[in-house]
Structure 1
Amino acid sequence: MKIEGFEPIFGEPKAEWADSRSDSLGRFLFHVSAPDSSHLLIQVTDFRSNTWEAKRSVLQLDDMRDEIGIGGSWSEFIDYVVASIKSEDVKLILEGHSNADGAAYAKIVAQKSKGMPRISISLTRLTGSAATEAMAKLSLELFTAFRSMQTLIVQEQERCLQLEKEAAAEKERNENIQNQPLYSKRQKLQKMNFSDKTDISASILSNGSQDSPDKQAAQSPVASKVANRVIPAHRRAKVRGALLQDTEDDKDN
Structure 2
Amino acid sequence: EMAAAVDLEDAFGAVFGEAKPEGHPTARPILFRAHARSAATLRVVATDCHSLAWGCSLSVSDLDDLRDDVGIGGSWVDFLDYLKSSLSSGEVKLLFAGDQLRKSTGSDGAKLVATKAKGLPLITISLHSVTGAVTSDVIAEFSLGLYGAYRTARELVSKEQEQMSQLMGSLSTEREKNEIMQKQLESLSFLDKRKATKPKLLADQVPSVSAVTLGSDQVTAPVQQQISVPSPSKAPPAKVTKRVAPTSRRLYNNP
Name the residue aligned to 2:64: 62
Q: What does 1:116-127 align with in structure 2 at a 5 Å threshold?
A: 116-127=120-131
CA drift at 1:179 = 2.4
Output the CA distance in 2 between the equivalents of 1:55 and 1:164. Answer: 46
Name the residue aligned to 1:178: 182
The answer to whether structure 1 residue 159 and structure 2 residue 163 are counterparts is yes
Q: What does 1:142-157 align with in structure 2 at a 5 Å threshold?
A: 142-157=146-161
Aligned match for 1:103, one of 102, 106, 115:
106
Q: Secondary structure at the match of 2:50?
A: coil
The answer to whether structure 1 residue 113 and structure 2 residue 114 are counterparts is no
1:80-136 CA distance string (max 9 Å, x none): 111111112210112345999532221101111122111111111112232111111
Q: Secondary structure at the match of 1:33?
A: strand
Equivalent residues of 1:52, 1:124 under 8 A apart: yes
Stretches of structure 1 lacking an aligned partner (at least 5 in a row): 218-253
CA drift at 1:189 = 2.9
State the AA in 2 paired with 1:183. S
Name the residue aligned to 2:241: none
Output the CA distance in 2 between the equivalents of 1:216 and 1:181. Answer: 54
Output the CA distance in 2 between the equivalents of 1:215 and 1:124. Answer: 131
Aligned match for 2:88, one of 86, 89, 95:
86
Identity of aligned residues (%): 34
Q: Which has the higher contact order (CA 8 A, sep 6+)?
A: 2
State the AA in 1 paired with 2:16. F
- Give the structure with the higher percent helix: 1
Check 1:216–1:188 CA distance in 2 against 1; reply closer, same or farther (3 A cut): farther
Equivalent residues of 1:108, 1:123 under 8 A apart: yes
CA RMSD across the alignment:
2.7
Aligned match for 1:187, one of 191, 202, 205:
191
1:150-177 CA distance string (max 9 Å, x none): 1111221222222222222212222222
State the AA in 2 paired with 1:71. G
Output the CA distance in 2 between the equivalents of 1:215 and 1:177. Answer: 61
Check 1:24–1:214 CA distance in 2 against 1; reply closer, same or farther (3 A cut): same
> Looking at CA atoms only, which structure, 1 or 2, has the larger radius of gyration?
2
CA drift at 1:194 = 4.1
Equivalent residues of 2:110, 2:126 under 8 A apart: yes
Output the CA distance in 1 between the equivalents of 2:94 and 2:73. Answer: 26
Q: Secondary structure at the match of 2:96?
A: strand
1:26-83 CA distance string (max 9 Å, x none): 2011010111121110011002221011101111111122223222221111111111
State the AA in 1 paired with 2:140. A
Q: TM-score, normalised by structure 2?
A: 0.73
Stretches of structure 2 lacking an aligned partner (at least 5 in a row): 220-255
